[in-house]
Amino acid sequence: MNTPTTTQYAASAAMPLQLIDLTLEYPDGEGTIKALDSVNLSVGAGQVLSLIGPSGSGKSSLLAAAATLIRPTHGLVIIDGTTASDLNDAQMTTLRREKIGIIFQQPNLLASLTAVEQLMISDHLRGKPLKAAKVRALELLEIVGLQDSAKKRPHQLSGGQRQRVNIARALMGQPKVLLVDEPTAALDNARSESIVKLLAQVTKEFSVATVMVTHDTEFISLTDSVATMRDGALGASELVGV
Ligand code: ADP
Ligand code: MG
C-alpha cells in the first residue's frame, strides 16, 4: 500500500494536529465498514475547528483515530510533529498522555472525588508531585469559572459545571491538541453557548489545536472553521469566524 512516510511531512509547530490521508475500516462480518475515507485535516495552534455531519458519518471515529485510541488502516496521525503510527503501544500511550486532551460528551467524573481532586489525580497518574498538581488544578478551576466549587463533588455540580471540570481536567497535562466530542449534547442552549465560548477561550489561551464535534450548528460561528463529514469523507473546510 502506498503509505505516506514521516519524512514527506515536515513537523510544524504551528500545526499541532495533522491527519494525512486517514482511512479507518472496522471489521463487519465478512467485510469491512469504511468509517474514514482518505481524510486530510490540519488544525493550527490556537484554532478551534468545528466538525459537523450526520450521525454515522465518522466524526467520533475521526476523534478516536486522532486521539491515537485506534490505529488507522491507512494514513498518518501527526501530533505536535510526532507521527503516531511510528510508535509502539507504550510510546503511543505516553504521546496521548503528554500531548492530547480528550473531552467526551459525558464528563465521566469520579463520584467520590472533589473537583480539585479530579484534576489532581490526572496529574498524579502522570507522575507529577501532588503539591504542584494542586496549584495547577486550582488555577485551571479558576480559568473555567469554578473557583468556588473546588471542594464540590460531581453530584453537587450542575451539568454545565461538570463539563467545565472535564475541560479543566483535559488541560491539566498541558496538551497541544484538544479533542472534544459533542460537549454540549446534554446541556441547554445557554449552557451550551458558554461551554463553546470556554473551549474557544482556552484554545487561544493555551495555544492548543482543538477539534470539536458538534450536532448543533448554532454556536459554530464562535469557532474558527467548520468541516463537514459525510460517509467518512471530509468536505471542504470553510472559514466562518475570525
Ligand atoms: P458519528 O460519530 O459521525 O456518528 P461514527 O464514527 O461513530 O460516526 O461511525 C462511523 C461509522 O462507523 C458508522 O457506520 C458506524 O456504524 C461505524 N462504527 C463506529 N464504531 C464502530 C465499531 N467500533 N465497530 C464497527 N463499526 C463502527
Ligand atoms: Mg459520534
In angstroms, the CA 81 to CA 13 distance is 7
Q: What pLDDT does 237 receive?
A: 52
**8 A C-beta contact, residue 58 and residue 36:** yes
Question: Taking CB atoms and a 6 Å cutoff, what residues make up the pocket around ligand 1?
Answer: 26, 33, 35, 53, 55-61
Q: How far is the CA of 58 from the centre of ligand 2 (A)?
A: 7
C-alpha grid cell, residue 231: 460517509
Q: How far is the CA of 108 from the centre of ligand 1 (A)?
A: 21
Strand pairing partners for 43? 17
Length of the chain: 242
How confident is the model over 130-146, as pLDDT tens digits?
A: 899 999 999 999 999 99
Chain-centroid distance of CA 64 in Å reads 9
Atom of ligand 1 lying closest to residue 181 CA: 2
Q: What pLDDT does 217 receive?
A: 87
Q: Where are the beta strands (DSSP E) in the chain?
A: 17-28, 31-43, 47-52, 74-79, 82-83, 100-103, 177-181, 209-213, 225-230, 233-234, 238-239
In angstroms, the CA 160 to CA 195 distance is 7
Distances (CA, A) of 102 to 55, 121, 129, 156, 190: 20, 15, 22, 23, 23
| Other residues' Cβ atoms within 10 Å of the Cβ of residue 32 | 12
Which CATH fold topology does 6-239 show? Rossmann fold (3.40.50)
Mutation pick for ligand 1 pocket among 19, 23, 26 (CB with most ligand atoms within 8 Å): 26
**Domain boundaries of the chain, sorted by first residue:** 6-239
- Residue 44: phi and psi, rounded to 5, are -85, 165
Nearest-ligand number for the alpha carbon of 70: 1
Band of the pLDDT at 236, cuts 50, 70, 90? low
Q: What pLDDT does 198 receive?
A: 97
Q: How far is the CA of 134 from the centre of ligand 2 (A)?
A: 33
Atom of ligand 1 lying closest to residue 229 CA: 3
**8 A C-beta contact, residue 50 and residue 241:** no
Neighbours of ion ligand 2 (CB under 5 A): 59-60
Atom of ligand 1 lying closest to residue 53 CA: 3
This prediction's pTM? 0.91
Nearest-ligand number for the alpha carbon of 55: 1
How confident is the model over 142-189, as pLDDT tens digits?
A: 999 999 999 999 999 999 999 999 999 999 999 999 999 999 988 899
Which are the contacts of 240, defined by CB distance < 8 A and separation ≥ 6?
220, 221, 223, 224, 225, 226
In angstroms, the CA 123 to CA 132 distance is 9
Strand pairing partners for 226? 50, 238
Q: Which amino acid is at 114?
A: T
